[in-house]
């Protein structure tokens, strides 16, 4: 062990100095890299919740048809009673789990399954449900944006047969793409 100043200086000179390697250059982030990343769990949960959401709107020109005086529990009960009235035509386990009133007077219902929500979004499902729920309300079919890969450059967004062709090639249900851009 070095005890004198000269020995300490010599020991310091002979000790190799640690060298740090420069960090690697940043990798270029491509569209392919972005497309392969997993959707953040919060975003995935929100997308899943939206697929089970049904929006019911009172008529805009009838202030007496408002739902503002009804609690959210009563609104869920009203919707579930409506489902019981049409039980023969709906999915077996169809049920509404919750309701939320918006500032615009709409009701956002959360169905127990995607199948229930999808059935309510069909023309027949909407007609049957609204006839028992209250004929003066409307059920909004909310579109959900999706990204479909490998669309031809010459794709005509206004042609329904082109939309059906993309649905078929993407293994989507017929009629699930309402519009494209």
The whole-number pLDDT of residue 105 equals 83
Q: For position 63, what pLDDT does the model report?
A: 61
Mean pLDDT of the 108-132 span: 88
pLDDT, one tens digit per residue, over 98-114 is 999 988 888 999 999 88
pLDDT at 19: 66
Same domain for 46 and 135, yes or no, is: yes
Distance CA(124)–CA(162), nearest Å, equals: 25
User: Do 129 and 76 fall within a single domain?
Assistant: yes
Angle at 23 between CA 22 and CA 26, to 5 degrees: 135
Q: What is the mean pLDDT of residues 125-146?
A: 80
More confident residue, 135 or 125: 125
- The confidence score (pLDDT) of residue 44 equals 66
> Looking at the structure, do residues 159 and 132 belong to the same domain, yes or no?
no
The answer to whether position 5 is within a domain reads: no
Domain interval for residue 61: 41-140
Which pLDDT band, with edges at 50, 70 and 90, does 77 fall under?
Answer: very high
> Are 172 and 93 in a shared domain?
no
Share of the chain above pLDDT 70, in %: 81
Answer yes or no: is 3 within a domain. Answer: no
How many domains is the chain built from?
2
Which whole number is the average pLDDT over 117-143?
83
| CATH code where residue 61 lies | 3.30.70.330
CA 164 – CA 158 distance, rounded (Å): 12
> pLDDT value at position 148?
66
| Dist. CA 146–CA 126, nearest whole Å | 23
> 1-49: per-residue pLDDT in tens?
556 777 777 777 777 666 667 777 777 777 677 667 776 677 667 767 7
pLDDT at 16 (0 to 100): 67
Q: What is the pLDDT of residues 41-65, one digit of tens each?
A: 776 677 677 778 888 888 777 666 6
Task: Identify the DSSP state of 70.
Answer: S
pLDDT (0 to 100) of residue 155: 78
* In-domain check, residue 167: yes
- Is position 64 within any domain? yes
CB burial readout 135-147, b (16+ within 10 A) else e: eebbbeeeeeeee
What counts of helices (H) and strands (E) characterise the chain?
7, 4
**Is the domain of 159 the same as that of 134?**
no
What is the pLDDT of the chain when averaged over all its residues? 79
Return the structure tokens found at 143. Answer: 């579109």
Same domain, 96 and 175: no
In a domain, residue 48? The reply is yes
Task: For residues 93 and 119, give the distance between their C-alpha atoms in angstroms, rounded to a whole number.
Answer: 12
């Amino acid at each position: 062990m070095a005890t004198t100043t000269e020995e300490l200086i010599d020991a310091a000179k002979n000790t190799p100095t640690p060298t740090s390697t420069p960090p690697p250059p940043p990798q270029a982030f491509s569209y392919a890299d972005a497309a392969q990343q997993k959707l953040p769990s919060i975003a995935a949960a929100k997308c899943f919740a939206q697929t089970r959401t049904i929006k019911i709107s009172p008529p805009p020109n009838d202030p007496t048809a408002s739902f503002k005086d009804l609690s959210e529990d009563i609104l869920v009960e009203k919707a579930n009673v409506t489902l019981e009235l049409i039980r023969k035509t709906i999915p077996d386990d169809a049920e509404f789990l919750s309701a939320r009133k918006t500032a615009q007077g709409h009701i956002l219902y959360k169905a127990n399954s995607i199948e229930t929500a999808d059935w309510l979004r069909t023309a027949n499902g909407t007609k049957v449900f609204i006839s028992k729920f209250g004929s003066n309300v409307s059920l909004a079919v909310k579109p959900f944006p999706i990204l479909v890969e490998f669309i031809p450059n010459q794709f005509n967004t206004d042609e329904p047969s082109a939309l059906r062709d993309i649905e078929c090639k993407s293994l989507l249900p017929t009629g699930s793409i309402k519009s494209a851009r």
